[in-house]
Amino acid sequence: MNPWQNAQQTLKQVGEKANIDPSLIETLLKHDRKIEVGLPLIMDNGEKKTFKAYRLQHNNWRGPYKGGLRYHPQVSEDEVKALSAWMTIKNAVIDVPFGGGKGGISVDPKTLSKPELERLTRAFTRELAEHIGPDKDVPAPDVNTNGEIMKWIADEYGDKAVVTGKAIADGGSEGRTEATGYGGVYALMAVLEAKKISSVGLTAAIQGFGNVGTYAAELMIKNGIKVVALSDSRNTIYSAGGFTDIMALVEAKAKTGSLTNAVKELGIDCEVKSVDDVLTVKVDILAPAALEMVVTAENAGLIDAKIILELANGPLTPEADDILADRDIVVIPDVLANSGGVAVSYYEWYQNRHDEKWTKERALEKLEGQMRASVTEVLSIAGESKLTLREAAYVLAMRRIAAAKPVCCEDCNCTNCPDCQNCPDCNCC
């Protein structure tokens, strides 16, 4: 099943199970606009190449389309379709006034020189210019794109509020670096509190030691959780007593190239296990923070955790999700758990538009409040309607999207256009 088929299945299943208005599901199964272009690039050696690029605008009832741009050889129409639909849901779950979009270029950026990457980005921006803008569609970094690429887009377009994820000096927000990892832990803490479970002394395993995994680990430890297993793309490191200084590990990993070298450099006594062992160690909380579809029908039965905090996008396959639900393992879904990043992206957009500069404390305090508010609503829907947290998060998002359906006639507030030909209320059509 490709990602878009996967996304469609989830929307249909949740729609049926939670009795959502079928016309809303129909809307969410379609995209508002597909922009597909071939980007010509003169390489440094004079050779001419063309790269396929996409921007999918899924739904903008709640506000401008919002979502990242990824540069990767596997970027395809179906991948971008799924990712843009998930952004519509995620932005509604965390209640930022954005719709959903996503885009990308099918390219391996590691094969391009920096000037080639900049020319390609600027060419993409020129193609997108009429479709993007602070009030239309606001791209952001994703896989293999970063603040520098966002700066080129803002410069080519001529307005910094057209993108988020910029460096602080270029108009980025304080707190964005920590936002996704910290946001996930704020959500986890809210779930634990609702279940009257103290975080102190719980154990956790985190797959992925990048931006999201490291900040999640840091905040878990501050909340008394013992982070006993960590992994990167090569190995899992395990310490029954828990790792303590995450930022020292980050520095040592940057210096030595891997987590196993980092623990050696710091003289930390721990076991080195294979890369996938992080998923199956016995812990209270498992947080996949690396790749998609790492828990599948094959290994879902081996998971030995009570809570899964989905920090990565789509780390469970739908089959794994069913198996874990049958085993009463609580899954805090990606559209909730990793929405801290887009929440602070909204704060960046807001600050750019209002010429404000927030402190990190202000941004993170607001983020914590926003994550907790969404968790409370998701838990309440899950409890009332006997749904999993993923299903409840989708229901919350769908209710919020439905409530934002544009009104097509100010006189009667009807929302039937463009389909209605004969408005039953005031004959406006």
Please give the residue ranges that form the binding site for ligand NAD (CB under 6 A). Answer: 180, 207-213, 231-233, 275, 289-291, 311-313, 338, 341
102 is catalytic: yes
Cβ proximity to ligand NAD: between 41 and 187 the closer is 187
Least Å distance between CB 288 and ligand NAD?
8
Q: Residue 374, Cβ neighbours under 10 Å: how many?
A: 25
CA distance linking residue 262 with residue 257, whole number of Å: 8
> Tokens at residue 367, please?
């983020």
Cβ proximity to ligand NAD: between 180 and 370 the closer is 180
CA distance linking residue 387 with residue 393, whole number of Å: 9
Cβ proximity to ligand NAD: between 60 and 214 the closer is 214
Q: Which residue is at the shortest CB distance from ligand NAD? A: 210
Q: Taking the CA atoms of the chain, what radius of gyration do you get in angstroms?
A: 22
CA distance linking residue 44 with residue 35, whole number of Å: 27
How long is the chain?
429
Sign of the four-CA dihedral 75, 206, 164, 86: positive
Residue 361 has, within 13 A of its CA and on its CB side, a CA count of: 0
CA distance linking residue 284 with residue 218, whole number of Å: 17
3-state SS class at 3: helix
AA letter at 234: R
Please tell me which residue in 66, 90, 102, 151 is annotated as part of the active site.
102
Least Å distance between CB 233 and ligand NAD?
4
Cβ proximity to ligand NAD: between 109 and 213 the closer is 213
Backbone phi, then psi, for 236, in 5-degree steps?
-110, 140
Report the relative pairing of strands 203-207 and 33-42 from DSSP bridges. Answer: unpaired
Cβ proximity to ligand NAD: between 221 and 259 the closer is 259
Least Å distance between CB 183 and ligand NAD?
9
Least Å distance between CB 188 and ligand NAD?
15
Token pair 């249909």 is found at 12
Least Å distance between CB 419 and ligand NAD?
35
Which residues belong to the active site? 102
